[in-house]
């Protein structure tokens, strides 16, 4: 998307998020999902198509534009970003590696608002994605899938799931025993479990995807080539981590905005608590950390736009921004004082919602391992 068009789009999105999405948060919490009319508006605005190539009906945004869009949406409740992010992130990235026929069939659908999910995590494998147990066995012109995927975002709403499965029992070099499959949810043998009850992020539903003798055509093998599943999953991680970094920075900014307003309105000892230096210190520390995270995100995105591999930068940004968000929402609760512990006020919700960002797309501890490995690899030349 050219710069002028993106600027106009971003300004429109900024207003829409604050005028439409933020007021709808109460309804999202009440029904535990994004209302259908808002989901339709998102599709009409082209939000599901921001990363889809133009030849398939999308906007073809650069990485910087895509991340900036997700950051803007993330000012509102996490359910809105969650509904979009899997489509425009992992699923679209995966489908770009498909055959021409697969791209022609599925990319226009996801760009048009069909919700998809990405199924990698299992009951016994999360960050250890190479250890997954779901099996896909070739049977003539079909594959038969068996296994359970856990914590799958958008599964209760999805029409299609990208499923990672083992096509070889034994482990192969470079994880070539893992393949990716396009699995319609209405496939016989595919069951979506009941939505999990979570600490926060109400409306962003997750559930198990269970496959029992689920037969899919061999054409559903992504790229029509076995052994590319792990590569597909890893290709989406850098952008996914930048997306989580961006939503962490945005939600921290939203919480800080709430804390700042409360501090100017709440009085103690006859004056607004914003006049107390220890309150000011918490506000200042939060602003500085948000600014640092935003700078890291912009730098990583600029490098990614050149085609450079940004595994190190994406992990650094995700780790710092998600941990920073946790610190900011904690300070905001503290600024609210006793009111911050009550559901009547936003601070309590911000605190619960933010906790997941340190787990999404690889925990902080996994990011530390990734960063260290990249540093050591660079030393070895």
DSSP 297: H
pLDDT of residue 143: 97
Question: Selecting from 1.25.40.10, 2.40.110.10, 2.170.120.12, 1.10.260.40, what CATH number does the domain 117-226 have?
Answer: 2.40.110.10
Residue 64 pLDDT more than 90? yes
Helices (H), the chain: 3-16, 25-31, 36-44, 63-73, 78-86, 92-95, 100-111, 229-265, 277-305, 311-336, 346-354, 364-379
Query: What is the Cα–Cα distance from 217 to 333, expressed in whole angstroms?
Result: 52
pLDDT of residue 128: 67
Query: What is the Cα–Cα distance from 375 to 377, expressed in whole angstroms?
Result: 5
Residue 183 is inside which H or E element, if any? strand 178-184
State what percent of residues in the chain have pLDDT above 70. 98
The residue among 97 and 173 whose pLDDT is bigger is 97
Residue 12 pLDDT more than 80? yes
- Cα→Cα distances 113→50, 107, 203, 219, 381, Å: 11, 10, 17, 23, 44
Q: Which of 122, 289, 348, 361 is catalytic?
A: 361
Domain at 3-114: CATH architecture: Orthogonal Bundle (1.10)
DSSP β-ladder status, 178-184 and 135-139: unpaired
For residue 236, name the pLDDT band (cuts at 50, 70, 90).
confident
Asked if residues 373 and 312 have their Cβ atoms less than 8 Å apart, the reply is: no
pLDDT tens for residues 122-150?
998 766 666 789 999 999 999 999 999 99
For residue 229, name the pLDDT band (cuts at 50, 70, 90).
confident
Q: Which of 46, 58, 57, 65 is nearest to 6 (CA)?
A: 65
Query: What is the Cα–Cα distance from 371 to 187, expressed in whole angstroms?
Result: 40
Average confidence (pLDDT) over 277-301: 98
Asked if residues 158 and 117 have their Cβ atoms less than 8 Å apart, the reply is: yes
Average confidence (pLDDT) over 245-270: 97
Residue 380 pLDDT more than 90? no
pTM: 0.92
Residue 89 pLDDT more than 70? yes
Asked if the domains at 3-114 and 117-226 fall in one CATH topology, the answer is no
Q: Average pLDDT of the chain?
A: 94
Residue 233 pLDDT more than 80? no
For residue 235, name the pLDDT band (cuts at 50, 70, 90).
confident
Query: What is the Cα–Cα distance from 63 to 256, expressed in whole angstroms?
Result: 26
Of the listed ranges 41-45, 232-236, 314-318, 352-356, the least confidently predicted one is: 232-236
Query: What is the Cα–Cα distance from 154 to 107, expressed in whole angstroms?
Result: 18
Question: Selecting from 1.20.140.10, 3.40.50.11740, 3.40.630.30, 1.20.1070.10, what CATH number does the domain 231-379 have?
Answer: 1.20.140.10
For residue 381, name the pLDDT band (cuts at 50, 70, 90).
low
For residue 234, name the pLDDT band (cuts at 50, 70, 90).
confident
Asked if residues 192 and 209 have their Cβ atoms less than 8 Å apart, the reply is: yes
- Residue 105 catalytic? no
The residue ranges of every structural domain in the chain are: 3-114, 117-226, 231-379
pLDDT tens for residues 160-172?
999 999 998 887 7
Token pair of 364 as six digits:
């902080």
State what percent of residues in the chain have pLDDT above 90. 86
């Amino acid at each position: 998307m050219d710069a002028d068009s993106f600027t106009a789009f971003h300004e429109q999105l900024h207003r829409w998020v604050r005028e439409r999405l933020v007021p709808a948060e109460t309804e999202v919490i009440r029904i535990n999902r994004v209302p259908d009319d808002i989901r339709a508006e998102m599709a009409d605005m082209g939000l599901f198509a921001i990363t889809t190539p133009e030849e398939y009906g999308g906007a073809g945004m650069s990485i910087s534009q895509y991340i900036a869009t997700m950051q803007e949406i993330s000012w509102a409740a996490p359910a809105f970003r969650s509904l979009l992010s899997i489509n425009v992130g992992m699923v679209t990235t995966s489908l770009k590696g498909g055959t021409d026929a697969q791209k022609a069939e599925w990319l226009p659908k996801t760009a048009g608002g069909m919700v998809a999910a990405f199924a990698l995590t299992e009951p016994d494998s999360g960050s250890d994605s190479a250890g997954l147990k779901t099996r896909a066995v070739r049977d003539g012109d079909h594959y038969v899938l068996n296994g359970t995927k856990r914590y799958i975002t958008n599964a209760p709403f999805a029409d299609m799931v990208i499923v990672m499965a083992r096509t070889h029992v034994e482990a192969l070099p470079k994880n070539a025993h893992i393949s990716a499959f396009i699995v319609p949810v209405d496939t016989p043998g595919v069951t979506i479990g009941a939505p999990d009850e979570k600490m926060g992020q109400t409306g962003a539903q997750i559930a198990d995807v269970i496959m029992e003798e689920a037969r899919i055509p061999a054409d559903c093998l992504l790229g029509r080539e076995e052994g590319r599943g792990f590569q597909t999953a890893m290709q989406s991680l850098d952008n996914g981590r930048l997306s989580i970094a961006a939503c962490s920075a945005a939600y921290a900014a939203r919480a800080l905005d709430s804390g700042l307003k409360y501090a100017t309105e709440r009085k103690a000892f006859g004056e607004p608590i914003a006049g107390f230096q220890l309150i000011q210190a918490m506000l200042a520390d939060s602003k500085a950390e948000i600014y640092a995270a935003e700078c890291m995100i912009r730098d990583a995105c600029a490098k990614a736009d050149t085609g450079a591999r940004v595994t190190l930068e994406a992990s650094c940004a995700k780790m710092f921004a998600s941990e920073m968000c946790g610190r900011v929402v904690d300070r905001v609760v503290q600024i609210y004082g006793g009111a911050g512990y009550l559901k009547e006020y936003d601070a309590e919700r911000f605190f619960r919602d933010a906790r997941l960002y340190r787990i999404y797309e690889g925990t902080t501890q996994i990011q530390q391992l990734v960063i260290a490995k990249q540093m050591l690899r660079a030393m070895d030349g």
